[in-house]
Amino acid sequence: MLKVLFHVNEMERWSVTLGNIKNLFIDVGEQGADVVVLANGGSVAAYGEPEIIALIQELSDKGATFIACRNSLKKLCSSSDVCVNENALPHFIKVVPAGITELIKRQAAGYAYVKP
Amino acid sequence: MLKVLFHVNEMERWSVTLGNIKNLFIDVGEQGADVVVLANGGSVAAYGEPEIIALIQELSDKGATFIACRNSLKKLCSSSDVCVNENALPHFIKVVPAGITELIKRQAAGYAYVKP
Amino acid sequence: MLKVLFHVNEMERWSVTLGNIKNLFIDVGEQGADVVVLANGGSVAAYGEPEIIALIQELSDKGATFIACRNSLKKLCSSSDVCVNENALPHFIKVVPAGITELIKRQAAGYAYVKP
């Protein structure tokens, strides 16, 4: 089983990331890859956009795990017009206290790192 | 032997990447590093540009391996004016069905990941 | 102990990188993470900017290691108006001959790679 951690920290990288996951599932099958996506920085704003959420749900249904950094969600609310409330997130999006810690722990657990 | 996988997914990162490889060979010698470059996304357009191809060939002669993602080559032909035909690629550029799979497998095989 | 290598190669990524390290120390404690920052490319200009240096010193005091690529320092001096002299660097910034080699060796030694 291939294990991969996608790191997304800018909004404009979501499109490439979701395309990568789609291609990976086509190439090795949904059972062939353990996919984790960690979003931090400005990229967490995507978790409040219905169009992106729909694409994420499709990939989540196929087994991909999507994670948000709580520090980034808080910063987004305090520093921009956009605010994505943690409690309003869809159930298929997990929240961790600090995305950076997740990035390290996953790699220590054998996940390959990919920054699309 | 140092093992490294360079991930290039934008045209404007080629210059830095090729410079990194040159510096690496100077620092540890051509026998001291196993270098693989995986190009996906828009960066595969470089494989159709004579000037970049010339630089790639030099590094390939020194032992570096250059790979193109087939998904990206197809997307390039269908979505832009540029089209790099897989069959017209120089012999020293290898094609894989999905670049993302290669990025994961190489790391699982012990290659360090570098995104220039 | 979490081991992490931050790769910074553009000036505009310093702010995110330093924020990541701060968040990491808050999350796991200064004793909980072995943090290394490798700067190459244009990002080494930060090592000549007093404001950034002050932030770096704070994190260095907490245990983070900051490294500069000598190739990049030389290129900066020869190709731009900015010049950061290696001998004028603060004592808490280490210099290595080739940053790219450090990026590979650290990962081979078990450091997770993060490109903010």
Listed by number, the residues of chain B in 2-41 with a beta carbon closer than 8 Å to a beta carbon of chain C are 2-4, 16, 20-21, 23-24, 26-28, 33
For C10-47, write each residue's pLDDT tens digit: 999 999 999 999 999 999 999 999 999 999 999 999 99
Contact yes or no for C10/C42 (Cβ under 8 A): yes
Dist. CA A30–CA A41, nearest whole Å: 28
Mutate to test the interface with C, among A76, A104, A113 (most CBs of C within 10 A): A104
Q: Which amino acid, residue A92? A: F
- Interval A24-44 mean pLDDT: 98
Give the residues across from A6 on adjacent strands.
Answer: A37, A114
Q: What pLDDT sits at residue C81?
A: 84
Chain A hits for B79, Cβ within 8 Å: none
Q: What pLDDT sits at residue C114?
A: 99
Dist. CA B17–CA C53, nearest whole Å: 27
Dist. CA C18–CA C20, nearest whole Å: 5
Structure confidence at residue A80 as a pLDDT band (50, 70, 90):
confident
- Interval C53-77 mean pLDDT: 98
Mutate to test the interface with B, among A13, A24, A27 (most CBs of B within 10 A): A27
User: Which tops the pLDDT comparison, C80 or A62?
Assistant: A62
Helix A99-108 crosses helix C14-28 at what angle (to 10 degrees)? 80
Which residues of chain B have a pLDDT value below 70?
none
Would you say residue A5 has pLDDT above 90? yes
Helix B50-61 crosses helix B14-28 at what angle (to 10 degrees)? 20
- Interval A8-32 mean pLDDT: 98
Listed by number, the residues of chain C in 59-78 with a beta carbon closer than 8 Å to a beta carbon of chain B are 71
Structure confidence at residue C115 as a pLDDT band (50, 70, 90):
very high
Instruction: Give the β-pairing of A65-69 and B65-69.
Output: unpaired
Q: What pLDDT sits at residue A82?
A: 87
Q: What pLDDT sits at residue C80?
A: 82
Q: What pLDDT sits at residue C82?
A: 87
